[in-house]
Structure 1
Amino acid sequence: MTAATTLARRQGALEIKQFLRSRESVVFTMAFPVIMIFIFASIFKGDIGGGVRFTQYFVTGMIATGLLSVGFQSLAIQIPIERDRGVLKRLRGTPVPKWVYFAGKTVMVLAIGVAETALLLAVAALFFDLTLPRTADRWVTFAWVSVLGITACTLCGIAFSSVARTGRGASAVVTPVALVLQFISGVFFVFTDLPGWMQQVAALFPLKWMCQGLRAVFLPDSFAGLEPGGSWELGKVAMVLGAWCVIGLVLCLTTFRWTSRRDG
């Protein structure tokens, strides 16, 4: 094991411990999607077409939301708090390479993201008859949609962490953005039931495409014809998510701040 790998592994382990010690982060990130599944399953029990029940449709959106929560929302809130506390400033003054900090965040996001997705799949399969993929190609699709999605969310979360002026105000800035994206991206409602202008706005952001890619994995092929484009459009899903990975990386490199505004 190289020195670089050891540093990244240790920083990742530290980030995971810090995450698990925060009850608010654990409850909101891990428990919230599960709670929402139970609530919506109790309210909406009908069929939405193509042999798909609303619960099945909703579960795919909550998996995407879970990845958004741990990748975008948690980092965009955590980093400003650490910046305000002087953690980033002190780290910048040590001989530890700067990339180690981001490597640790990435390891944490991947670990929590995998755990949360596994929890959601288990709950959905046990209680809501979600059919897990039965072919290798669907699992492959699930893998690349999840990887591209969580990568885009992580990079955008790091970049968006520079928007909040203070750590205390980070949650107030980030949470509404995440909620709006969920409402317009087909998480809480069937995407094609939303107004046309709302669908067009949602198509500019990664969450809509994450949801669509995951529907291609967990819903029957008969539902593809009910999608806005008349198919799963997996090529477009890959292109948009890949573009957001590039956009997020550029924003990280050009906007990330190690010190708070009051420190200059």
Structure 2
Amino acid sequence: MMGAVSRLSAQTVMELKLMLRNAENLIVTFGIPTGMLIFFSIIRVLPTPDDTEPVAFLAPGILALSVIGAAMVSLGIQTGFERFYLVLKRLGATPLRRWELIASKALAVLLTEIAQVVVVVGVALALGWRPQVDQLALAVPALLLGTSAFVGIGLSMAGRLRAVATLAATNALFLVLLVSSGIIFPLDRLPEVMQFGARLLPAAPLTDWLRAAFDGAQIPVASLIALPAWAVGAPILASRIFRWE
């Protein structure tokens, strides 16, 4: 048991260092979400619900986007190229187990997200955001469940696809989720069928949970079910299909 904990902690530290010293990762995890928050809060070109300031609507969605960027895009691409350059093959020859590798990557993403939350919330407050605090405790399970879901998705792709295919797939999915999950404009502007379909994927439920946490909104039933289901199912899938090389 102590050996597993030691391996897990050492690998988590290494994964965190790799994430934070990569310029491309920093752009995806910090630059793009923060830039979008500032731009669309000042330049009012996106639709928002009636009497809602842009920053108040955008801030929870941008937090969800930060999770997607760190847990799926950044982690998926990094892991995909680690497989390509045979880094994971070498790790596979060590006592490190598959679940320990996945857990260490998830923990590194969580630690990165703590910094993301501080940055995004700080910028949003500076732009005039005044969140409600009645349901603020919902933010913790929302972030944990969202991280688990998108780490599982990112590693499922990185563990089976070629590195270039992982790069293309994660970026394409990032764009699709950005425009179809209620992150930057209200989900109710989409047809009802598309709304329901979006809430079966993890991005819209994560956004719903975060809006409930910061704005006091109600979480749709579909989102209450979908996010925990993805949080459990995606990492299980990743641990079963992940290949070291």
> Aligned-pair distance for 1:47?
8.3
Q: Which runs of 5+ in 1 are unaligned?
A: 225-230, 260-264
Change (3 A) 1:240 1:46: closer
1:185 aligns with 2:184: no
In 2: Cα distance, 1:21 partner to 1:73 partner: 16
Q: Which runs of 5+ in 2 are unaligned?
A: none
1:26 aligns with 2:26: yes
> Aligned-pair distance for 1:183?
0.5
Query: TM-score, length-normalised on structure 2?
Result: 0.91
Change (3 A) 1:47 1:203: closer
In 1: Cα distance, 2:210 partner to 2:101 partner: 30
Change (3 A) 1:253 1:98: closer
Aligned length, in residue pairs? 245
Where does residue 215 of structure 1 map in the other structure? 211
Where does residue 254 of structure 1 map in the other structure? 240
**Which of 112, 137, 141 is the matching residue for 1:144?**
141
Query: How is 1:76-87 mapped onto 2 (pairs within 5 angstroms)?
Result: 76-87=76-87
Change (3 A) 1:9 1:193: same
> Aligned-pair distance for 1:159?
1.1
> Is the Cα–Cα contact under 8 Å of residues 46 and 53 in structure 1 kept in the other structure?
no
Where does residue 262 of structure 1 map in the other structure? none
Change (3 A) 1:56 1:88: same
In 1: Cα distance, 2:42 partner to 2:160 partner: 37
> Is the Cα–Cα contact under 8 Å of residues 88 and 244 in structure 2 kept in the other structure?
yes
In 1: Cα distance, 2:60 partner to 2:211 partner: 6
**Which of 210, 230, 238 is the matching residue for 1:244?**
230
In 2: Cα distance, 1:72 partner to 1:31 partner: 16
> Aligned-pair distance for 1:186?
0.8
> Is the Cα–Cα contact under 8 Å of residues 133 and 213 in structure 2 kept in the other structure?
no
Where does residue 109 of structure 1 map in the other structure? 109
Q: Secondary structure at the match of 1:186?
A: coil
In 2: Cα distance, 1:54 partner to 1:112 partner: 26
> Aligned-pair distance for 1:193?
1.1
**Which of 189, 194, 197 is the matching residue for 2:193?**
197
In 2: Cα distance, 1:124 partner to 1:193 partner: 24
Change (3 A) 1:86 1:13: same
> Aligned-pair distance for 1:185?
0.3
- Tell me which stretches of 4 or more aligned residues in structure 1 moved more than 6 Å: none
Q: Deviations over 1:153-199 (max 9, x none)?
A: 1112111223532x234222210111101100011211111233321
Q: How high is the sequence identity, in percent, across the aligned residues? A: 28
